[in-house]
Amino acid sequence: MSEYVVELKNATKRFPGVVALKNMQLAVKPGEILGLIGENGAGKSTLIKVLTGVHQADEGQIFVDGVEQHFKNPNDSAAAGIACVYQELNIEKLLSITDNIFINKWIKGKGGLLDYSAMHKKAKEVMASLGQDVDPTKPAGNFGMGVQQMIEIAKAVLINAKMIIMDEPTSSLGEKEVEQLMKTCRELKSRGIGIVFVSHKLEELFELCDRVTVIRDGEYISTKPIDEWDNDSLITAMVGRSLDNQFPKEFGTKSAEPMLQAEHLMEAGVLRDVSFEAYGGQILGFAGLVGAGRTETMRAIFGADPLDSGKIIIKGKEVQIKSPSQAIKAGIAFLTEDRKGQGLVLAQSIRTNLILANMKGFSDGPFLNEKRILEAGEKNIASLRIKTPSIDEIVGQLSGGNQQKVVIGKWVNTDADIFIFDEPTRGIDVGAKVEVYNVMNDLVKQGKCVIMVSSEMPEILGMSDRVIVMRGGEVMADVDRDSKHFNQEDLMKAAWGGKLDD
């Protein structure tokens, strides 16, 4: 028997014109959590797809329990005991948890009809073993992302997977759900299941993993036990150079008067008396747990959802904002947290998406000025370093980081004064994150007001001039960068409902 439950050796995968994997290797021991990290485009997806049989490697070998395997399709891989929980979950939201878990593995009773009582019982058991006490007859869509992910894990458990790959499992989870997920991972580990944990969040790797493998540009870089890694060495291995500063904070000049004042914003069941002010030349961070009402506050200010009461004052003047178009006229830009669903028209070109928020500014009368659009677009592509073969590329074809840059470009093109960035670096790689931070730096240096909603504490601490902490639709704390409370412990304390003394 081999030491490893799954071992990939010298795998090379070529796509026409490019080598996606070069002599790649990966080895997972039974009952181990192996972190896998690399920038976007490093080859993580290809590696996962080779292991799950979606792609076939041109060269190289895969061993499961020391026996060489050839996966022709995902079914072969699943039969060998390899399962994968993809970042985009494969959940049929309208079907019950049981239906989701037993899809294509139905338990049949007499006469070939589905035996639901047996399936419900089994589903309940499996979910309970993953720490989820849920009613398996309810539609999966009724539950949060955390539970939906557990359904995927339950599928893997049900086929007696020897190894489970989790592709950025925490990217759409809240704090509590992440905790539960980690607990589940440890539980699976204790059952002897090997886990490959793909994440962009270094602190998660340090908390959870036994060893971490770093890949870069399709090549294997290194695998070391977790205590031999630290933040800097991981980043250096990942990007191939040291990023001196993960958060390249620069300071603008704070405006004398607040640029945006929100007073007593109320929205039944969502916001309770939210008041704050934001200044030009500063980044105002919004920290809190998922569901604290930060996104809702921003959507209300932007006119995307109606407020029950409250005042919004821009540069000292009260404004009435009933719709996003009024907000844009008032000088507000809003980069939504869900870039695919709310930020971009994926089927349209970069050129079109870049002018979406300022069609009028790019038109003479009713007619579009193609020359101005092209000039602005090429400028956006250059200054934001959007990697694309052409300005006419369909946005859906771009990588996540480049899509995010297109959304940023769309808002930069509006000449707004107040930029609200909701989770601007979610799901994009370290290099692209730094570029997003630099855009924010440029904006504050021009005297613009930047509001950044983020669930990443290091990002909040690294980039904000001032932080507002929310919980349950209320403002809990307002902490200046110079304050003694400007640290992770105190901000988390406030986010969990604690009081900060003065």
Least Cβ distance, residue 415 to another protein (angstroms): 13
Question: Per CB under 8 A, does 280 bind another protein?
Answer: no
* Contact status, residue 214 vs residue 203, Cβ threshold 8 Å: no
The smaller minimum CB distance to another protein, of residues 138 and 360, is found at 360
List of long-range contacts for 176-185, beta carbons under 8 Å, 24+ apart: 176/146, 176/289, 177/144, 177/145, 177/146, 177/149, 178/204, 180/131, 180/146, 180/150, 181/146, 181/149, 182/207, 182/208, 183/131, 184/130, 184/131, 184/150, 184/153, 185/33
Q: Which tokens belong to 386? A: 């959007």
The smaller minimum CB distance to another protein, of residues 15 and 496, is found at 15
**Residues ≥6 apart with Cβ < 8 Å to 427:** 87, 168, 171, 200, 400
Judged by DSSP in three states, 9 sits in strand
Instruction: Please state, in angstroms and rounded to a whole number, the distance separating the CA atoms of residues 191 and 171.
Output: 25
| C-alpha 112: how far from chain center | 42
The interface mask with another protein, positions 366-395, x = CB under 8 A, is: xxx-x---x--------------xxxx---
* Contact status, residue 357 vs residue 379, Cβ threshold 8 Å: no
Least Cβ distance, residue 362 to another protein (angstroms): 7
Stretch that binds another protein, among 25-33, 85-93, 274-282, 319-327 (CB under 8 A): 319-327
Q: In this structure, are strands 18-28 and 6-15 parallel, antiparallel, or unpaired?
A: antiparallel
Least Cβ distance, residue 360 to another protein (angstroms): 7
Question: Per CB under 8 A, does 40 bind another protein?
Answer: no
Question: Per CB under 8 A, does 355 bind another protein?
Answer: yes
Stretch that binds another protein, among 110-118, 166-174, 348-356, 489-497 (CB under 8 A): 348-356
Stretch that binds another protein, among 70-78, 199-207, 284-292, 333-341 (CB under 8 A): 333-341
The smaller minimum CB distance to another protein, of residues 269 and 341, is found at 341
Count Cβ atoms below 10 Å from residue 29 Cβ, excluding itself: 18
Instruction: Please state, in angstroms and rounded to a whole number, the distance separating the CA atoms of residues 478 and 229.
Output: 35
Stretch 206-235 residues interacting with another protein (CB under 8 A): none
Stretch 107-136 residues interacting with another protein (CB under 8 A): none
> Which of 61, 73, 397, 446 is in the footprint of another protein by CB under 8 A?
397
The smaller minimum CB distance to another protein, of residues 329 and 493, is found at 329
Least Cβ distance, residue 387 to another protein (angstroms): 10
Number of residues that bind another protein (CB under 8 A): 43
Q: Which tokens belong to 230? A: 């630290």
The smaller minimum CB distance to another protein, of residues 186 and 340, is found at 340
Q: What are phi and psi of 22, to 5 degrees?
A: -125, 115
Question: Per CB under 8 A, does 421 bind another protein?
Answer: no
* Contact status, residue 237 vs residue 215, Cβ threshold 8 Å: no
Question: Per CB under 8 A, does 483 bind another protein?
Answer: no
* Contact status, residue 200 vs residue 87, Cβ threshold 8 Å: no
H or E element at residue 180: helix 175-190
> Which of 176, 360, 445, 484 is in the footprint of another protein by CB under 8 A?
360
Question: Per CB under 8 A, does 302 bind another protein?
Answer: yes
Question: Would you tell me which residues interact with another protein (CB under 8 A)?
Answer: 15-18, 20, 302, 304, 323-325, 327-329, 334, 336, 341-348, 352, 355-360, 362-363, 366-368, 370, 374, 389-392, 397, 410
